[in-house]
Amino acid sequence: MTSSFPSNRSAPSPVYPMRRPIYLDCQSTTPLDPAVLEAMLPYFTEAFGNPASNSHSYGWEAAAAVKLAREQIAAAIHARPEEIVFTSGATEANNLAIKGTAEANLAKGRHMVTLATEHSAVLDPMRYLQTLGFEITALPVEPDGLLDLGKLEAALRDDTVLVSVMAANNEIGVLQPLAEIGAMCRERQILFHTDAAQAIAKIPLDVQAMNISLMSLTAHKVYGPKGIGALYVRRKAPRVQLAPQLHGGGHERGLRSGTLYTPQIVGFAKAVSLGVVQMAVEAERLGSLRDRLHRTLLPLGGIILNGHPSQRLAGNLNLSFEGVDGQALLLALQPTVALSSGSACTSAKMEPSHVLGAIGREAALAYASIRFGLGRFTTETEIDQVAEQVKAAVMALRA
């Protein structure tokens, strides 16, 4: 293979700082676990076949890998393998669930219910459906970020076709009562969708016990590769009908056309399997580190916790620092700590978080918020270092 660079020049090399920042942005994305990479590598080279090629061994090999991955992901949420539909990520899964349900259930109704704190990958498809004549009820949440089940019950109507509530919030980490919502929806014969991108392999998920009809998943929040996700689609009691959003080829039983990306799928399944095995121990470890960080910062004063104090992801700590501009704090910490103020999908927008607004934070406090996202490779030493750097930066900015 010949190089595209002139013979008298060498290819440019990536330039990294001598010491990379401590990474505490695991709700945005997570690093690939080395074991996941190892599982994926053969499917880029030796086992490169198309799983849809059923006339030779290369295709059979890839198809077998996809079949096993489907079984592993299904087992993690107590589903059947045939109920897992692979997508490019949770955003596509959310769009397929919401718009697919809308198109397939026009005869029943045009009303959907969601929360004001949902990810934009849920709220934006809902807004799109409004332009087509659907009625969307976006329920408020309580000051701790939790849904009031009484308000949900009051919002349900005879023409409600879908309730969509996120399992774990990507900004404030709040865990919604999925089982209670599922039971309410089942009693009313309403489909229940949950965006579980932040929850998979971090908290127990059981689509049967929780009466979940549709569940969106992604790999890159759980130490898997980017660009791969899945939608759980219930096939029994009741069978969920969806209208496909991508056409051409009839892959995934006609619900999502497109050649399956075998290496990504294998990595997704490996990441989920590892996460499930480590779930309880890792949740305890992360919760302890999170609380250590919180306790260390409290003496600063003027610190407000965003979201429920205990019903939240173990690795999430979202704080507002009174008298401090959040962006200035991020810039002060940037050389040594990688953090964000909220969703990576909307971080370019210079406006306060809609999630923090929904829990009653005024704009000044919303702008003063920082999300600490702890993960599998976060250490106690790093937490102590970050705490000291945050304290120094906050005191300097307040001064």
- Listing DSSP states for 211-264 in one string gives T-SEEEEESTTTTS-SS-EEEEE-BSSSBPP---SS-SS-TGGGTS-S---HHH
Level-2 CATH architecture, domain 22-32+279-398:
Alpha-Beta Complex (3.90)
Q: Which of 97, 62, 30 is nearest to 272 (CA)?
A: 30
Measured between alpha carbons, how far is 73 from 89 in angstroms, rounded to an integer?
14
Q: Which helix (H) or strand (E) holds 344?
A: none
Burial of residue 283, with CB atoms counted within 10 A of its CB: 0-12 exposed, 13-18 middle, 19 or more buried: middle
CATH number of 34-272: 3.40.640.10
Express each pLDDT in 7-17 by its tens digit: 333 434 444 44
Q: Which two tokens stand for residue 235?
A: 């096939």
Measured between alpha carbons, how far is 58 from 262 in angstroms, rounded to an integer?
12
Query: What are the structural domain ranges in the chain?
Result: 22-32+279-398, 34-272
Q: Which of 317, 324, 318 is nearest to 394 (CA)?
A: 324
Q: What pairs with residue 373 in β-bridges?
A: 25, 316
Give the pTM. Answer: 0.92
Which residues of the chain fall short of a pLDDT of 70?
1-18, 342-350
- Contact yes or no for 270/228 (Cβ under 8 A): no
Residues contacting residue 262 through CB under 8 Å, at least 6 positions apart: 43, 47, 48, 49, 51, 62, 65, 66
Measured between alpha carbons, how far is 80 from 71 in angstroms, rounded to an integer?
7
Predicted confidence at residue 18, as pLDDT, reads 57
Burial of residue 128, with CB atoms counted within 10 A of its CB: 0-12 exposed, 13-18 middle, 19 or more buried: middle
Predicted confidence at residue 6, as pLDDT, reads 35
Predicted confidence at residue 250, as pLDDT, reads 80
Catalytic annotation present for 185: no
Measured between alpha carbons, how far is 369 from 278 in angstroms, rounded to an integer?
30
Task: Name the catalytic one among 35, 52, 345, 397.
Answer: 345
